[in-house]
Amino acid sequence: MDTGVAQAERAAPGNLLRDRLRSQGVDVRPIPRLTEATPSDLQWAISEARSPMLFAGLIDAWPAVRNWTPERLAEDHGDKQVTALMGLPTSGVLYPGDQHDYEKELTFREFLEEMLEEAPKPPCYLAHVRVEEILPPGDYDFRALLDPAQEAVDTRAWIGSAGTRSMLHSDLNDNLFVQIWGEKEVVMIPWDQTAAAYPFPDNIVNSSLDLAAVDLRKNPLLKDAALYGTTVRPGDVLFVPRGCWHDFRALAPSVSVNHWFGPPMPFQEYAMQVLKLGPVHWAAAVRDFVKHGLLDRPEPMKFFFSPSSTGKRLYDLVRRGDFSYGNSDIK
């Protein structure tokens, strides 16, 4: 396997998403970056700071950093069957069609070969897969980073080509994002500035913005928002507080893992944002409460691993007493 593109050159200044946003007058600040960090530093950020923070090299000692290069993955795990997203669009927010239209079954080795092919081939992504299904759990240890009281919710792997992107969204649990191999850029918007993320009316944790192609005349709230951005490199751990909007884009072929933990955002905090967003969002919530709750009609996969709509969440709260019902598997 040719891994010549494995450690691709970092994006030149001016080509990064945060530089392009700044050139349009958007305030994009650096995410605080702590070097020589310890798990105690991370635990302080989680319990006290409650803001995005990057801990450089915090998991350098994990076996995954040594063992999860594409070459080693192909050698040790290449015969496993995986279901990956192939031929992904490189712009826009919604999929042209259902997410399942992009799924393809192949061996892990075949996927890695596709992943390492140079652009302009459309991106491919082995995304949102449970880590233990394809990789040894002994190669990573989130328990050593967190307080024992911070209960795990879900852990997922994200393995893909240059150009893969998460699209701007928000999760309702705290999140540790760990870069194992390659580099990704992240741009973030705080939860208290949710209006500047222009959420879809029917789902306020998914943004209608493609940050690479924003129009400030149509999206003027971005002018007054404070965004944050950085590049996440191998060994880095990024703390993403619950609710904080984030858009990840791979600058090179990339291997990442994320770990959701702790209690979900309280319903009252979520509902406050719905109220602030106004009548269009209220109407969509009522519609989906009836359509996907009372009538139990399935929700389409039009976002990237779509979570439940606002209306369906409200139905689950009323019907089951659980605002996050079914969302431990879909973030």
Tens-place pLDDT, residues 256-269: 999 999 999 999 99
* Structure confidence at residue 302 as a pLDDT band (50, 70, 90): low
For the chain, give the percent of residues with pLDDT over 90: 82
Q: Taking residues 28-39, what's their average pLDDT?
A: 96
Task: Encode pLDDT of 34-43 as tens digits.
Answer: 999 999 999 9
Residue 169 has pLDDT above 90, yes or no: yes
The whole-number average pLDDT for the span 58-84 is 97
Of 5-9, 28-32, 147-151, 249-253, the range with the lowest mean pLDDT is 5-9
- What per-residue confidence (pLDDT) applies to 2? 38
pLDDT of residue 225: 97
Average of per-residue pLDDT across 6-26: 74
pTM over 0.75: yes
> Of the spans 101-110, 295-304, 320-329, which averages the highest pLDDT?
101-110
- Give 1's pLDDT tier (boundaries 50, 70, 90): very low
CA distances in angstroms from 47 to 50, 57, 174, 221, listed in the order given = 6, 21, 11, 30
Mean pLDDT value of segment 79-97: 89
Residue 4 pLDDT more than 90?
no
Rg (CA), the chain: 19
Cis check: omega of the bond before 120, within 30 degrees of 0:
yes
Single-letter code of the amino acid located at 59: I
DSSP label at residue 165: B
* pLDDT (average), residues 313-325: 88
In the chain the beta strands, taken as DSSP E runs, fall at 27-30, 33-34, 53-55, 81-85, 103-107, 125-130, 152-160, 174-181, 184-189, 199-200, 203-207, 226-232, 237-240, 245-250, 254-261
Question: Of 223, 256, 229, which Cα lies nearest the Cα of 244?
Answer: 229
| Res. 304 pLDDT band, cuts 50 70 90 | low
Can you give the pLDDT at residue 195?
Answer: 97
Mean pLDDT of the chain: 91
Q: What is the mean pLDDT of residues 171-185?
A: 97
Reduced 3-state DSSP string for 248-308: EEECCCEEEEEEEECCCCCHHHHHHHHHHHCHHHHHHHHHHHHHHHHCCCCCCCCCCCCCC
**pLDDT, position 14:** 60
Q: Using CA atoms, how far apart are residues 86 and 105, in angstroms rounded to an integer?
A: 10
